[in-house]
Structure 1
Amino acid sequence: MTPQRFHPIGTPGQPWGEAERSLWRSRQRRQRSYASDVLEAVAHLHAHWDVQPYGELDYAPDFYPLVALHSADWSHDRPIALVTGGVHGYETSGVHGALRFAAEHGSAYEGRINVLVVPCVSPWGYEHVQRWNPAAVDPNRSFSAHGKALESIALMRLLAPMQGRFLVHIDLHETTDTDESEFRPALAARDGKPFEPEGVPDGFYLVGDSENPQPAFQQAVIAAVERVTHIAPADADGKMIGSPVVAHGVINYPVKSLGLCAGATDARYATTTEVYPDSPQATPEQCNAAQVAAVRAAIDYALAHG
């Protein structure tokens, strides 16, 4: 029997109140700089991109301007490809993969499709290497009319005038060992539920939309990434993180009903990447390269199949 794991904050079986959320927040420490790692990188991308501020987060004493990158040759006659990173700020390659794609491949799509890159949706989470925002709310469960994460609300406001024009959306994520050791136990404690281990898949995988799975699209992305890093196998029960594996490296979630970022638009082609940076078979360079390969394959497939 697996021993029950208790989180150090809260009382088992009781959801957190404001006291527990405040205690959790007081224990978070800034570990890296959004200004240096993201905003400075964005400032060097003016050759092929227009930088658009789309809001700001005031988490006193911290203040975060939110920025997106638009194709410099944006045309209202073209569909849109959306790339999002850092919805979970601690998932490093999602942020740096989005920035690398913008720096190295933005020009490849000029005149073909509008590209919108939002490299770091959750800057506080990026700096504090956290899944949640300071209110202990998960932005990647907040892309709905009832969502409470300010990060998600700001992004939805940015996307609202463009709804109906998105062809493809790829949301860049990681699954890390800390998911099992830190973040899932914290989630269980916050919600007053028992922690149930799910394991961490060893390798890259995708989360498609169970309401619009697009299996050929998902496999095109997997095939491209497989040239860069290994794809996670199913466990002994044919699952990954508790969900059935529906194809090589792919599981599906009902993304809209869960409030996931991948459901923030009605794009025909949508997927969430999951890189495994803690694998002994992967390096940070491979993780970033895998994200870039996934973005390119997703947009290329969408352009080829309409």
Structure 2
Amino acid sequence: MLGVLFVGLSNFFLVLVPQTIRKALDFIIERTSDDINTQIDFTESLGPDILKFAGTVIGLSALMGFFLYCMRKTIIVMSRLIEYDMRKEIYAHYQKLDFAFYKKNRTGDLMARISEDVSKVRMYLGPALMYGINVTIMFSFVIFTMFQVNSTLALYTLLPLPFLSLSIYYVSSIIHKRSDLIQKQLSKINSISQEVYSGIRIIKSYVKERQFNKYFREESTVYKEKALDLARVNALFFPLMILLVSLSTLLTIYIGGQLVFKDQITAGNLAEFVIYIII
């Protein structure tokens, strides 16, 4: 619960930063539009006000960073401690099992359970939980603030969001399937290594070192190819997200620029929306 509280406080101060920038931009445009000699007024009268706005933004960013650190310190450290306890319990349970269990199950599979599977549980309890709560709270704050400013611009800004969600779901499913293939291949390689080490005398007596070296090299090559396939999907994942976010930014600037010319929103509101998209 303490981690969730830190998530909420971090996003609260994060949302206040674009609002402060909006107030600063509207204040500068209003003051400069009323005066003719803007260069003198900018240094003499607007300087202290700009420093005040800048200090406010820095202070809010510092508070956001502090609670973000506390959020990671609580949730991520908690997941690491759970991972450590799970591995200790699994290892203790392995020691209690009889010899028949190890005859039925390969050592590589057991090693994969205590390494890869436990790491995935930690990823779920730590980063997945943290980012899930973080995105939910941040979306609630940002969408509520957007519709308060201008509902039309908010709808256009959120228009690419369904496509972004579908693309993330599709790519994540591919990543999950290829990660399972990598885990199975890693389990196979671990089993081969264990069997070779345990039967090294028999292998040497029959002079089969080169054959087993070739076999292990081939299986390692298969693992490398599957890992590269996963890396290619990950390489396309982030550019796709950046593309959709950039399209949303362009759409916001285009529609928001028209609303600024119609005096329905201010230039500060437009800058505020662009910052919301970036965060």
Compute the TM-score of the two structures, normalised by the length of structure 1.
0.21
Larger Rg: 2
User: Which structure is higher in strand share?
Assistant: 1
Q: Identify the structure with bigger relative contact order (alpha carbons < 8 Å, sequence gap 6+).
A: 2
| TM-score between the two structures when normalised by the length of structure 2 | 0.23
